[in-house]
Structure 1
């Protein structure tokens, strides 16, 4: 029984990671046998993981097939509203509770990530690491659980706003402002900096989606 639960958790994590890094994108069909072969996991935990992901709306039904879900405009707007508030709270708590070591790690990330400008995929991975470290610095396990759920749905976005011209450099400048506010213990400024950061990312994505729709 314990091995089955462990296998299910592993299969769930492996499928989520594959979606997160873009191996599977919105609209892609997930086949139980192919996933079992790819990950070297038996079909039973794969099946249970797929059922869990469907329950969480990460996957959806297309006839008899399971596909990676896509976010429409309304779902995207709802997701960003929740993300803005939760990340703002994380930044406020980080300003209060982050250790000196955690602040230095955030600062190092913000500085070192500039070497990734020009590589949107690598910058997107670094961005996720930065935000994860910010969540950890909040020292609130319940908030982190909610943020993990939000970021699972962020993986359903087929493109990263960091790929858009100029957005990468702007995003890193915004990271610098977030870290500076946390370092001084200014919770209000930290929350405001994060909210502005996420608002700008949402605005950039909306403009990108509108331009793409007009070109189709």
Structure 2
């Protein structure tokens, strides 16, 4: 008999996406029964998905409850250091291995995404697609796997840095520079452009966080 229950990965993906789009934010409590009802999934795969998310440190224990984790300043800095290096490597490899068609897709993405400036949430989704396309263009499955882990942790950042004034225009200019370096097959320039892009995003996020912290 075929088992028609939704697989664990489906429940996991549903919860992760809900965190990623801000339905559940850092500090929010996740309850098995509520998640099962929301997603139309039985409680067993929900329970297994929650355990997996806890193992990955995306959820943490608060007494008997599981809540969405948050990143402190040091964790944020560590995450961006790793992200910058891995993303830079992906761009370097993409400059070496991307097909002409993959380069054209990246160019088309930048062109289309310019129309989203002023809509931070839509730009954030487009930004993830753009970076994922570079990861895939690296043609290195192990690097893609590691970057997927990094980007899961990025879901714990409640506010996109693209919400900052002027960041949308700057991001598009940076994306264009990255793509042109990849198109020119200049791995060093692609690596540097993507690392600089991540550095500016980190700087912007630090400014956002500093503005949200109350004075003591």
Query: TM range, normalised to the smaller chain?
Result: over 0.9
Q: Which residue of 1 aligns with 2:133?
A: 133
Over 3 Å counting, the alpha-carbon distance change for 1:182 and 1:44 in structure 2 is same
Partner of residue 42, structure 1 = 42
Q: Give the match for residue 70 of structure 2.
A: 70
Q: Does 1:192 align with 2:192?
A: yes
In 2, Cα distance between equivalents of 1:169 and 1:214? 29
Secondary structure at 2:66 match in 1: strand
* CA distance in 2 between partners of 1:101 and 1:121 (Å): 28
Please say if residues 114 and 172 of structure 1, whose CA atoms lie closer than 8 Å, have aligned partners that are also in contact.
yes
Q: Check conservation: 1:58, 1:153, Cα contact below 8 A.
A: yes
Shift of 1:209: 1.0
> Superposition RMSD on alpha carbons, in Å?
1.5
TM-aligned CA distance change 1:199 to 1:8, over 3 Å: same
| 2:202 partner SS | helix
Residues 106, 179 of structure 1: 8 Å contact kept: yes
Deviations 1:128-158 (A, max 9, x none): 0000001010000000000000000000001
Give the number of aligned pairs. 216
CA distance in 2, matches of 1:56, 1:3: 27
Deviations 1:84-115 (A, max 9, x none): 00000000000000000000000000111010
Scaled by the length of structure 1, what TM-score is found? 0.97
**Bigger helix fraction:** 1
Contact 1:7–1:41 (8 Å) recurs in 2 = no
- 1:201 counterpart residue number: 201
Return the TM-score normalized by structure 2. Answer: 0.97
2:160 corresponds to 1:164:
no
- CA–CA distance in 2 between the matches of 1:104 and 1:169? 21
- Unaligned residue ranges in structure 1 (runs of 5+): none
Q: Cα 1:205–1:6, aligned 2, differ >3 Å: closer, same or farther?
A: same
**1:180 aligned residue:** 180
